[in-house]
Amino acid sequence: MPIAMPIIALARPRPARAPPSRRAKTRARVVLARAASLSLCARGANAPHPDKTAKGGEDAWFARVDATRGGGVLGVADGVGGFNDQGVDPGLYARVLAHEALREIAREGETAAKDAMAAAQRETKIPGAATMCVVRLDGDVLRCANVGDSGFRVVRDGRVVGASTAQQHYFNCPYQLAYAELAKDGDSASDAEEFEVKVRVGDIVVLGSDGLFDNVFDEEIAAVATEAYGRASDEASGAGAAAQALVKVARGHAEDKKYDSPYAREMAKSETDKGGAPKAVGLFGGLNKMLGGGSLGGKMDDITVIVAGVVQTSESREVLASASASCDANTEALAKARELASIEEVKVQRTVALRKEMDAAFKESVAASEKKSKAIANAKPEFTRAQVDSMDAPTIRKLLQERGLPSSGKLERLRDRLAEVKAL
């Protein structure tokens, strides 16, 4: 379905501005005084799965870089590809989830990562599911909330000094967020694991979907990010270069059928592959090693990486502004996805409303049936045993026929049957 394009008005000359008032100057000084001393200078990069290039893949990301207030928030959401089999685009769910998290952060300001994730899940009311990782710089502490197998790493002096861990129900089945009305037994933001890492100027924060972590070990992530970041002319350029370099390395490993990837190692040590099929080891795994293969290779997937350098806010306003402008285009793309999803959201709300009506009707029917059964169980017999025993066979058969009950058989059985009739 085509996306409605916004109407662009012609720009008009701006009237000359009056000099800022004393109150405005004071307000500006207060904002600067309250600015966090450290900031995340971030840029992102993405490489869709080759089969999903036309729709831009199924990952989404966001970054809030503030040259005035400092701090910063990063997030990545990875749509669960299994929904494609149901005719649902999981990429749209991931983009709306990212949009709603960013909107909550912009609205509330100091929103905790887990709270932003909870608001995003609550407001993303369309089919689909996604893993999600959100990190926020609070002073000199990086706080993270993670659901699923996306994640973050903090790199310092060429090595990883902080990291999240993956949440999985079983191998290759990560925890995932979905609209609660469509997934009553699904995971939620309340299940998110939370992490804290104390950071300092010069640290490099790497946030990524599992397309990165399934294909690149931490040691290589640290080496590639450090090398690319260090060669750049400034922190904004360094973040962009490092993100691109990590995407390139991850895609190269994904295409290498002999690469001993993190994904291959995880598969080899798991008891089951994809929650039921026997793992791909044993005779054929051993034969593969004898022939020089050595592993199952990388995992082809969407790959999304955000890299952020930790900088001193007061000394880096220019590069922070540059990074912020670079992230704005991605933010606008998320907003367009949100507009597109509003059509699907209306359909979902109708479905949810209909389902609730059907559930209510079913509960009412069950309640009525239970009430009737209870009334029957508590009702007194229509005839006492003494009355039944005093009746002859023709009378008993007639009474049974009038009540729609079988009237053939031995007399004693007929007496027992009539004695069981309730007076309703």
Q: What are the residue ranges spanned by the domains of the chain? A: 35-256+298-354, 385-419
Q: Is the pTM of this model over 0.85?
A: no
CA distance 187 to 116: 16
Give the Cβ contact number of residue 365 at 10 Å. 10
CA distance 32 to 103: 23
* HSE (side-chain half, CA atoms, 13 Å) at 319: 23
Confidence at residue 21, expressed as pLDDT on a 0 to 100 scale: 54
Confidence at residue 228, expressed as pLDDT on a 0 to 100 scale: 98
Confidence at residue 63, expressed as pLDDT on a 0 to 100 scale: 97
At 208, the amino acid letter reads G
3-state secondary structure of 138: strand
Give the Cβ contact number of residue 272 at 10 Å. 14
Question: What is the 3-state composition of the chain as percent helix, strand, coil, each rounded to the nearest 5?
Answer: 50, 20, 30
Residue 343, φ and ψ in degrees, nearest 5 = -65, -45
Residue 128, φ and ψ in degrees, nearest 5 = 125, 180
Confidence at residue 295, expressed as pLDDT on a 0 to 100 scale: 55
3-state secondary structure of 223: helix
Confidence at residue 271, expressed as pLDDT on a 0 to 100 scale: 55
Per-residue b/e over 97-133, b at no fewer than 16 CB within 10 Å? bbbbbbbbbeeeeebbbbbbbbbbbebbbbbbbbbbb
The CA distances from residue 194 to 3, 41, 99, 102, 136, in Å, are 37, 22, 21, 18, 11
The answer to whether the beta carbons of residues 329 and 293 sit under 8 Å apart is no
Task: Please tell me the class of the 35-256+298-354 domain.
Answer: alpha beta
Q: Which helix (H) or strand (E) holds 77?
A: strand 73-79
Give the Cβ contact number of residue 337 at 10 Å. 22
At 364, the amino acid letter reads E
Q: Which residues of the chain have pLDDT under 70?
A: 1-35, 271-295, 352
pLDDT tens figures, 383-411: 989 999 999 999 999 999 998 999 998 99
CA distance 39 to 179: 33
